[in-house]
Amino acid sequence: MEENEVKKIKQLFRKGVALALTAVTALSVLPATTVSAASQKATITFEYCYDSSGNTIRYQQTASHNGITFSHVGEAHTRIYADGDDAYCIEPGVSLHTGNTLEKDASVVWNNLGKAKQDAVNLALLYGAQGSMGSLSGTEDEKILATQIVIWEIVTGCRNTTAPYARTDTKFYNSLCINGANSGVSKAYDQIIAGMASHGTLPSFASGSTDSAAKELKWDGKQYVLKLTDTNNVLSKFNFTSSNSAVKVSTSGNTLTLTSSQAIAGNVQLSATKKIPTVSSSAKLIAYGDPSLQDVVTGVENTAAVKAYLNVKIPYGHIQIVKTSEDGVVAGLKFQITGNGIDQTVTTGEDGTIKVENLQPGTYTVTADRGQI
């Protein structure tokens, strides 16, 4: 081939590359929604994981589940990405390689898990690396792997799907953290489990229902007071507010104190929403699948709000007087009751009794028509 022909071919090749790059650049400036709508597949990549000392995190045991080996002793543990997003395996031991593609919303494994397991996986993600990355201890890799272990336990039935989400088999945990190995992963793992276990826990004196029995404030000589101690140790995650501004609310440690300077007719309701991890309202948990490859999930979604309620009441007092008389005349006698803003005249009944309801604690003067009693 002559030199001029070679130059022409090279020039054509460069033009072709330039046009290809132009096409890629044009595609990259299109709105993200347009690109995602056109592509329903995610490309898988992997990275090695490292602890806080820079050491590669490795399996400590060879272990299997349902006849499939998911770990080999000494093998480096990797984290998974689906189109660059952190992804978590839901089929431990099933083959998946760099460059494989998985279909969005096409995981038969995920669909067959059932709602209880799906909700538990989402809760693990919320308290794990996806929703609580900033509050967990350890390196990012350690947090990711801790989350992965919990998810494996849930999808395989090695952890219960209802609170307190007790573990029923240690094979996945031991494969990485047995005998104190990979302590950074272990610490993050414990934090995730603790968050899940206490997710729905309310203060011991509160209820998830708005119609619970009312507790009573007592007069202490100066004001009405009720002090309640939370034996579940979660009061700090709640901020109770009162439906009546006369009832003041304060907390100190695990003690909730309610006070009021006045009696109030009817019940007063206190309500609070628990502080739990949250993500963007538009965030989604997406399952990617393929019949012959390992399926994964990405993202996380918010859970339903955890609410607590407490009903209280402040009882009024009363005065009861029974009039006696040597002449037997006890009915129809008038008495005046004054004090604490009260100035009321009452009349005895046939048996000489009068009763005045709804009085606040204090000093009252009762005066009869024959003088002061």
- Give me 221's structure tokens: 């000589």
* Token code pair at residue 144: 């990711």
Q: What is the pLDDT of residues 203-262, one digit of tens each?
A: 999 999 999 999 999 999 899 999 999 999 999 999 999 999 999 999 999 999 999 998
What is the per-residue pLDDT for 355? Answer: 62
Going 188 to 189 to 194 to 196, the CA torsion angle's sign is positive
Entry pTM: 0.77
Q: pLDDT by residue (tens digit) across 98-109?
A: 999 999 999 999
CB-CB contact of 290 with 106 (8 Å): yes
Mean pLDDT of the chain: 86
What secondary structure letter does DSSP report for 235? G
Q: What is the pLDDT of residue 373?
A: 42
Mean pLDDT in residue range 258-279: 95
Checking 13-16 for CB contacts under 8 A at 24+ apart, the result is: none
Residue 369 has a pLDDT of 65
- What's the confidence (pLDDT) of residue 343? 75
Phi, psi of 141 (to 5 degrees): -60, -40
Q: How many helices (H) and strands (E) does the chain have?
A: 8, 22
Quickly state the pLDDT bin for 33 (edges 50, 70, 90): very low
Which pLDDT score, from 0 to 100, does residue 156 have?
A: 98
Q: Which residue has the higher pLDDT, 370 or 67?
A: 67
